[in-house]
Amino acid sequence: MAGMGIARQLLRAPFTVGAVRELAFCLCGVVAGVLDFAVPGVVFGSAYGLATLTGAGRGSAVEPAVTPAALGGVAVALVAMALLAPPIGRALSALHRRLAARLLSIAVDPPTARRPGLRAILSDGPGWRGVAYSLLKLPLSIPQIYAVVCFVGGVVNLSYPLWWGLFRNPPEGVRLSPVPVVTPLGVFDVETYAGTFAAFAAGAAMLLVAPWVAHAAATLDGAVIRRLLAPGSMTQRVRHLEQSRTQVLDDAAATLRRLERDIHDGAQIRLATVALNLGMAAEKLGDSGQPRDLDQARELLALAASGAKDALADLRDLVHGIHPPVLDNGLPDALATLANTSVIPVSLRVDVPVRPAPAIETMAYFCTTELLANATKHSRASHVTVDLVGDGDRLRLHVCDDGVGGADPARGTGLSGLAQRISAADGHLSIASPAGGPTRISVDLPYQP
């Protein structure tokens, strides 16, 4: 059974969408590789030609090969290349990133914009890395050419039995030259119709080999693209910090708006009602002497007391949403309380030898709350496991349920917003939730924000 499965995979490989995309990337990579060398060559040749134009017709017929004009042309060409290489490298890098994103689904962030000035051009790291990739494109193109040749040659060789009867029927006594068949292992000739089946077999083998060669070539090229055409580690760090800062500011503004709305719609209205009831009760009691309506005054005072309790509960909920009081005793007690109140049975394990920063504690607590709420609403799970482990300078939270799986941040389960908040704290959220379950969500946070 395993052998049949492998055979089916081999037969199906040339006709999958991924194989077609990788073959298309190899074909485009070959063309782009030619462009990588053609553009610098034209620039160098043009600069050299312009520099030596004035001295081209001077001197005798036996003028030495190395002339001052030639040396000056080479110097000017080298200077022109040094000034033009980074912008050309950036332009070609953008082309290769688009090809990788479109055909290989490899998303590589573009570099930051280049600063103006001659010094910035000469020290442009992304531009020079683009130049380095262009130089590496020639050896990278060799397996890509091989894949394209295998695919195109395979299709051509498969067609030999089809057209042989149409074009290889010469009159009696006429002998046609043999037809060459090109294969990766060499060239052989076909002289008869029976020989076309050898070409057919070679074409079938080439067609089956082509996607695997293309996959290897595209994987190697993609790894080089990630290494050379992605922003540097420092640039990525700065960009991440800028995005985190923006996210933190947006979260702070959203929290303030939520608090204003909750206070206005909740505690403020309740307190206004309390004040109104107290005023009406005071009016019923009167300023002095016998109360006007003692029973109604008691009723109003009871309503005021009830409203005050409700307002106090609203304010307590607001404070709980900012910093749960249960965290005062640390994460183990807070998560134990959370597990005990969960609708789904929870197995909890906490191993945090060193207490993290308060902001990280709050983040870990709210992450657990959100993930347990999601499991209750969407997973149809019968059991949830929560592990919180302190490992070096990182705090790792794992929440796993035995539900139906299929958790997707794009489906509005709150995971996308949670991932953004975790990223703002220099953390990372990873989700493994295949259809049918189980769902395992991991949160990695620093000990210090």
- Ordered DSSP codes for 104-156: H----PPPPPPPSSHHHHHT-HHHHHHHHHHHHHHHHHHHHHHHHHHHHHHHH
Q: Which of 408, 405, 406, 409 is nearest to 418 (CA)?
A: 409
Give residue 309's pLDDT: 74
| Angle, helices 415-424/358-374, rounded to nearest 10 degrees | 170
Report percent pLDDT > 90 for the chain: 0
Model confidence at 97: pLDDT above 80: yes
> Is the CB of residue 336 less than 8 Å from the CB of residue 428?
no
Give residue 60's pLDDT: 45
> Is the CB of residue 143 less than 8 Å from the CB of residue 185?
no
Tokens of 110: 């573009």
Model confidence at 74: pLDDT above 80: no
Tell me the pLDDT tens digit for each residue of 203-212: 888 888 888 8
Per-residue pLDDT band for 31 (boundaries 50, 70, 90) equals confident
Model confidence at 429: pLDDT above 60: yes
Give residue 373's pLDDT: 83
> Is the CB of residue 397 less than 8 Å from the CB of residue 440?
no
How high does pLDDT run on average in the chain? 75
Give the separation between CA 447 and CA 428, rounded to whole angstroms: 13
Residue entry with tokens 């709980």: 320
Concatenate the DSSP letters of all residues of 411-428 into one string: GTSSHHHHHHHHHHTT-E
Per-residue pLDDT band for 61 (boundaries 50, 70, 90) equals very low
Model confidence at 265: pLDDT above 70: no
Q: 188 by DSSP, 3-state: which? A: strand
Give residue 449's pLDDT: 61
CA 67 remoteness from chain centre: 54
Q: Which residues contact 361 (CB under 8 A, 6 or more apart)?
A: 327, 330, 331, 334, 355
> Is the CB of residue 370 less than 8 Å from the CB of residue 421?
no
Buried b (16+ CB within 10 A) or exposed e, 12-45: ebbeeeebebbbbbbbbbbebbeebeebbeebbe
Q: Which of 58-62, 104-108, 149-153, 374-378 has the lowest mean pLDDT?
A: 58-62
Give residue 378's pLDDT: 79
Per-residue pLDDT band for 161 (boundaries 50, 70, 90) equals confident
Tell me the pLDDT tens digit for each residue of 315-372: 666 665 556 667 777 888 888 888 888 888 888 888 888 888 877 888 888 888 888 8
Per-residue pLDDT band for 62 (boundaries 50, 70, 90) equals very low
Whole-structure pTM value: 0.51
Per-residue pLDDT band for 179 (boundaries 50, 70, 90) equals confident
Give residue 57's pLDDT: 44
Model confidence at 264: pLDDT above 70: no
Tokens of 146: 């091989």
Per-residue pLDDT band for 176 (boundaries 50, 70, 90) equals low
Tell me the pLDDT tens digit for each residue of 106-137: 877 777 776 777 777 777 777 888 888 888 88
One-letter identity of residue 264: H
Report percent pLDDT > 70 for the chain: 66
What's the rounded mean pLDDT across residues 48-58?
53
